């Protein structure tokens, strides 16, 4: 059985992330990691804050803090939010860690040794008003491809095309706003991606049939256009320093590595951070070095990150001529929009992760985001859609089922699971339906089809409601108490089953459901189809409690308040 290494795109340090960032990387990775752990796999889920680069320096300057202090502060803020969302990282690290510095510099030395890094004199924009060379993200302007007027000097956020600052129309400094920029000569290191193109293409081609169309098409688009040698150093005060033992002149000038060079390497760095913190001193390389098929590596990211992880980082790994583990499966996502438009802090549009947790518990957001995940196309968030999913699926289908079964049984039979009669045709049919739906649920999660997995989970919950409505224990109790007891006992076993199967999506509610039963030997992590069919995991006589309402409905007054606070109008028909 292969071990599973899971990484999600590193959240950038300069600000709290919105729900689109959450659904595009960290949350689906967490759902998958939880599921695999429950199935008994050895799983390592690694993430970290991405702390280097121009935006970190700019955000720190705006906050009036040294950049190191700003990043440390924001790391704590982000870490608390992700804990609030129930993200069960094995380790959540920092790209500014000593471990990442060490490994990034090692990669650079190896690439240089093998002839894949070259020092070149380049002409770079210099701002007299700012008294410095401007790295790419210190320059904004109009994208020559799509006309977006706030494209960055390294990439256009609108069309995702990779750019150089000299590509921009009417470039200006992000520090001073000055357009009085001039080209001056300086030296930088270049990764010779052109020399590695055939190897990268071979790598991508080997995964084309396995990867989602979104991932493979983006990778092939880059390869079709031809890989260009890429500058991997910048003139910044904050970053992984160019090692002085290899490039003394550039090190003396204070050059640091480009954030997109060191950020993917942080997956390795964070794994070493994790290993260094373990009392048994686990070997971090056992997940990354010379592991071949012993480790299956899955990455999660939004579509704008795909080129760097399918082309640039594999090129970096290949160029070291060392056997580093490369990604097996790239799960990519489209955009989650807010009423069809972009999330925007400045325009008070959209929900950011800290505000989301202020409004409602994490399970509301976890379930909705996965049920509406932008897998095949962009998805649009609206408060109407969100409340409909929460009220229908979570409050009515799952929450109401749990509450009315346990409340009615306690009222009629006391605080322990009643015995009742023997299972009949209805129970046998229910068992067959549950086993079939469970198989479907597992197949979708194994294939990382999250919307379909959420639909299968919803169908599992619905099967319990259909059974309860057909058996109607509130009517059975009047003429056949044993039949009513059987129905309720069966429904309680469904609740326990739901607690186990729902854990990847709604872990807090799952724990509440499971804790409702006084089962001291309840150690099951998953349920086989055969066991699900029998519905007998909660023995007769087991004590239980009625938990508080699992999910509160969202009212029209709530919706009005949310729209007023967060902006946006319902989309017209």
Query: Is 71 annotated as belonging to a binding site?
Result: no
Query: Is 156 annotated as belonging to a binding site?
Result: yes
Query: Is 104 annotated as belonging to a binding site?
Result: no
Q: Where in the chain is the domain with CATH 1.10.730.10?
A: 383-534
Which residues have a Cβ under 8 Å from the Cβ of 187 and sit 6 or more positions away?
A: 119, 120, 121, 122, 249, 250, 253
Do residues 336 and 381 make contact, with C-beta atoms less than 8 angstroms apart? Answer: yes
* pLDDT (0 to 100) of residue 441: 98
Q: In the Cβ-directed half-sphere of 399, how many Cα atoms lie within 13 Å? A: 19
Report the SS3 class of residue 424: coil
Domain 383-534 is found in CATH 1.10.730.10: yes
Do residues 164 and 136 make contact, with C-beta atoms less than 8 angstroms apart? Answer: yes
* pLDDT (0 to 100) of residue 569: 64
Q: Where in the chain is the domain with CATH 2.170.220.10?
A: 116-256
Query: Is 439 annotated as belonging to a binding site?
Result: no
Q: Where in the chain is the domain with CATH 3.40.50.620?
A: 3-104+262-366
Question: What CATH superfamily classification does 3-104+262-366 receive?
Answer: HUPs (3.40.50.620)
Characterize the bridge pairing of strands 233-234 and 117-127.
Answer: unpaired
Q: Token pair of 90, please?
A: 């094995």
* pLDDT (0 to 100) of residue 512: 98
Do residues 372 and 388 make contact, with C-beta atoms less than 8 angstroms apart? Answer: no
Query: Is 47 annotated as belonging to a binding site?
Result: no
CATH number for the 116-256 domain, one of 2.70.50.60, 2.170.220.10, 2.50.20.10, 3.40.50.720? 2.170.220.10
DSSP labels for 451-520?
HHHHHHHHHHHHHHHHHHHHH-HHHHHHH-HHHHHHHHHHHHHHHHHHHHHTTTT-HHHHHHHHHTB--T
Q: Token pair of 78, please?
A: 């982000």
Mean pLDDT per 10-residue segment, the chain (573 residues): 93 92 96 97 97 88 94 97 98 98 98 98 89 84 94 86 89 90 92 98 95 96 95 92 97 93 97 91 91 95 94 97 98 94 71 96 98 95 96 98 98 96 95 97 98 98 98 96 97 97 98 96 89 92 97 96 79 40
pTM of the model: 0.92
* pLDDT (0 to 100) of residue 58: 83
């Amino acid at each position: 059985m292969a071990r599973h290494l899971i990484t999600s795109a590193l959240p950038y340090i300069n600000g709290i992330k919105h729900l689109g960032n959450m659904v595009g990387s960290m949350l689906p990775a967490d759902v998958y990691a939880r599921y695999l752990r429950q199935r008994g796999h050895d799983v390592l889920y690694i993430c970290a804050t991405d702390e280097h680069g121009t935006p970190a320096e700019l955000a720190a300057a705006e906050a009036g803090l040294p950049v190191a202090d700003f990043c440390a502060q924001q790391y704590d803020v982000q870490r608390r939010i992700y804990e609030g969302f129930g993200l069960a990282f094995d380790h959540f690290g920092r790209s500014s860690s000593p471990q990442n510095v060490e490994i990034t510099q090692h990669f650079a030395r190896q690439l240089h040794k093998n002839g894949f890094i070259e020092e070149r004199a380049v002409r770079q924009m210099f701002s007299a008003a700012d008294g410095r060379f401007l790295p790419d993200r210190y320059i904004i302007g109009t994208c020559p491809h799509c006309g977006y007027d706030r494209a960055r000097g390294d990439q256009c956020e609108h069309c995702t095309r990779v750019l150089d600052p000299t590509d921009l129309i009417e470039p200006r400094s992000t520090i001073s706003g000055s357009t009085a920029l001039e080209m001056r000569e300086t030296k930088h290191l270049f990764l010779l991606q052109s020399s590695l193109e055939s190897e990268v293409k071979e790598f991508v081609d080997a995964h084309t049939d396995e990867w989602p169309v979104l991932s493979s098409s983006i990778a092939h688009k880059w390869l079709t256009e031809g890989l260009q040698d890429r500058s991997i150093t910048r003139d910044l005060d904050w970053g992984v320093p160019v090692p002085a033992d290899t490039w003394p002149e550039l090190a003396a000038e204070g050059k640091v590595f480009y954030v997109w060079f060191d950020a993917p390497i942080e997956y390795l760095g964070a794994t070493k951070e994790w290993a260094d913190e373990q009392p048994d001193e686990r070997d971090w390389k056992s997940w990354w070095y010379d592991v071949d098929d012993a480790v299956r590596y899955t990455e999660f990211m939004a579509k704008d990150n795909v080129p760097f992880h399918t082309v640039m980082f594999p090129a970096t790994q290949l160029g070291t001529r060392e056997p580093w583990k490369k990604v097996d499966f790239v799960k990519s996502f489209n955009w989650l929009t807010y009423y069809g438009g972009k999330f925007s802090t400045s325009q008070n549009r959209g929900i950011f992760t800290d505000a989301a947790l202020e409004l409602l518990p994490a399970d509301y957001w976890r379930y909705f985001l996965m049920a509406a995940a932008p897998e095949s196309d962009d998805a649009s968030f609206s408060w109407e859609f969100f409340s409909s999913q929460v009220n229908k699926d979570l409050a009515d289908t799952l929450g109401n089922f749990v509450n009315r079964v346990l409340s009615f049984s306690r009222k009629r039979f006391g605080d322990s699971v009643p015995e009742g009669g023997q299972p009949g045709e209805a129970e046998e049919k229910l068992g067959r339906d549950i086993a079939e739906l469970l198989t479907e649920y597992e197949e979708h999660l194994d294939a990382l089809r999250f919307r379909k997995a959420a639909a299968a989970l919803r169908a599992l919950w619905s099967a319990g409601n259909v059974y309860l409505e057909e058996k109607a224990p509130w009517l059975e109790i009047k003429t056949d108490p044993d039949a009513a007891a059987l129905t309720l006992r069966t429904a309680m076993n469904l609740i326990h089953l739901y607690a186990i199967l729902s854990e990847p999506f709604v872990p807090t509610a799952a724990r509440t459901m499971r804790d409702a039963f006084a089962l001291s030997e309840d150690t099951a992590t998953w349920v086989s189809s055969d066991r699900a069919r029998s519905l007998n995991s909660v023995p007769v006589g087991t004590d239980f409690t009625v938990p508080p309402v699992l999910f509160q409905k969202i009212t029209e007054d709530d919706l009005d308040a949310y729209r007023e606070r967060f902006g946006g109008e319902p989309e017209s028909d």
